[in-house]
Amino acid sequence: MPDISPDTAVTGHALIQSYLANLTGSPGVYRMLDGQSRVLYVGKARNLKKRVSSYAKPTGHSPRIARMIRETASMMFLTTRTETEALLLEQNLIKQLKPRYNVLLRDDKSFPNILVSDEHRFPQIKKHRGAKKEKGSYFGPFASAGAVNRTLNQLQKVFLLRNCSDATFESRTRPCLLYQIKRCSAPCVGYISEDDYRASVKDAERFLKGGTTGIQEALAAEMTEAAEAMEFERAAGLRDRIRALTNVQSAQGINPRGVAEADVVALHMEGGQACVQVFFIRAHQNWGNRDFYPRTGGAETEAEVLEAFLGQFYDQKEPPRLILLSHAIEDADLMAAALTEKLGRKVELHVPQRGERVELVAGAARNARESLARRMAESATQAKLLDGLAEAFGLDGPPRRIEVYDNSHIMGTNAVGAMIVSGPDGFVKSQYRKFNIKGTDLTPGDDFGMMKEVLTRRFQRLLKEDPDRQSEAWPDLLLIDGGAGQVSAVAGIMEDLGVEDVPFIGVAKGIDRDAGKEEFHRPGQRPFALRHNDPVLYFLQRLRDEAHRFAIGAHRQKRAKAVGATPLDDVPGVGATRKRALLSHFGSAKAVSRAGLADLKAVDGISDALAETIYDHFHSG
């Protein structure tokens, strides 16, 4: 792409007009930037010159687009070989840069799968999230961990497969509780042969692929045979397994006969907000649904929102063969081509008009409408609480970002600081942060010192990354767990950092440390309390309790990690798998440290070079 250097003195449509002479009709991606080089918008184009020329017109734009054009101070362009490349690049840049005027998918967590492992003679069935590095058969995605857990729970009742780790399996000398409650066939102690267990694994995989009818018929025939042989206990066990299998199917609610594999994606827009509902259909079974609330400007069409959602949603996820949509999108052929290229086989986008597929989309659309109505009601309540909070504490306006801080430790050990975030949409869990307390000069249990370290690290980073305070990462209000002493200490910290215009409040338990008798402290002012039944008081209690819960959870994680730590953690090249192999072979880390080189080389999975590394680590000097 040739270098384009327009007159930097102009902005808006006149500036955009100055780029047109040097643009070609190639496909590509363009970026619109403001006067501080922040990206306002990322867009794709089949024909860059034609697309950009639409912004050069002084009239005919929606208020949102007109505002974006007025703020544009420069543009960047990148040509691509194909339109598909332009689409993929556009979605990558949107997710990376999060431009203000793009539709943005804010919740982008990975989805869990069920894994039937293939690295053990008695395979384990378990939940899996993340990269598919472990050998085995993967089934999914499921909409949530809860959907996976419910299915696993029923699958254990039907197929009696183990879910314990390999290390636990190897160490068992008698059956665990799961065998007693008929949830496992106890392969760990030889209560089932390897061939019979493998047959159960194959049945479980067949069920997860949709072959439920044959499994039920086989179990029913086996139950009848056991009853005729007067093996009533075995027949009752088979009856329970058939019942559990029926429960799995009935709990799924929607089990379409004509759709084997699809994502059902439905959009509902109202009041400038959007909700997208996604149902996961695999093996003719409903594997759960999730709702998403993409950030919009309020003026986009259904087609624009849905197209942006699809591009970002499938950026890091494997698409199914069929995606059923509630609304047609403008570049459906282009989106299908991009997803086909990603999956390696044909992907079809379809807006159904009749039959079972219409019912699936209608159900998803109904869920989207109801979810958005609930969210809007909750947002209205949250807005009232934020208005009440601003009035109670004399703030300039309702805070859009509240940060709540707390510490957790036991006698100063495994100390962590925690920060939670709340705003107009409630708790923003993606913004939660935990701080491992690193100060070596702190007295154990010094809460003031811990708070100083946490706030210093937090605001030093903010000042470094956004000194002009242009981003939404800057808080409008801080809540500190503590009274007058804590507030005084925080005031000193903020003064040292040069951040004296961010208001903060100390929340103290008050008389008898009872909930409902909290006292609120502000710098230079007398403490006061809210009336016992004030909704703002309940709101502040929820914020404080959430921070306390998060801090305790972070502390427990750190403590558990410390308890499980061994000298092997410091040996380069020894990860979790090799650590487990060494401990299984020698019995303890101390025995590993005393082992000879030949003994280390005899451990499965430990190469000669790694054995020498381990030996040198413990015997150097």
Q: Summarize pLDDT for 490-512 with one digit per residue, the tens.
A: 888 888 888 888 999 999 876 65
> 3.30.420, 2.60.40, 3.90.25, 1.25.40: which CATH number matches 261-373?
3.30.420
Q: Among 376, 370, 448, which residue's Cα sits nearest to residue 415?
A: 448
Residue 257: what residue type? R
| DSSP state for residue 512 in the 8-state scheme | G
pLDDT in tens, 244-265: 666 655 544 456 778 889 999 9
- Categorize the per-residue pLDDT at 443 as very low, low, confident or very high, splitting at 50, 70 and 90: low
pLDDT in tens, 152-193: 887 888 788 898 888 888 888 899 888 888 889 999 999 999
Average pLDDT over residues 127-142: 87
402-561, which class in CATH?
A: alpha beta
pLDDT in tens, 87-105: 989 988 998 888 989 998 8
Domain residue ranges in the chain = 12-97, 113-251, 261-373, 402-561, 567-619
Q: Tell me whether domains 261-373 and 402-561 share a fold.
A: yes
Place of tokens 């975030």: 421
pLDDT in tens, 192-232: 999 889 888 888 888 787 766 566 677 777 788 878 888 77
Average pLDDT over residues 604-617: 87
> Homologous superfamily of 567-619 in CATH?
5' to 3' exonuclease, C-terminal subdomain (1.10.150.20)
Find the angle CA(430)-CA(432)-CA(434) to the nearest 5 degrees. 135
The pTM of this model reads: 0.72
CATH hierarchy code of domain 12-97? 3.40.1440.10
Q: How far apart are CA 276 and CA 268, in angstroms?
A: 7
Token pair for residue 286? 């409903």
Helix ranges restricted to H, 60-144: 63-71, 83-97
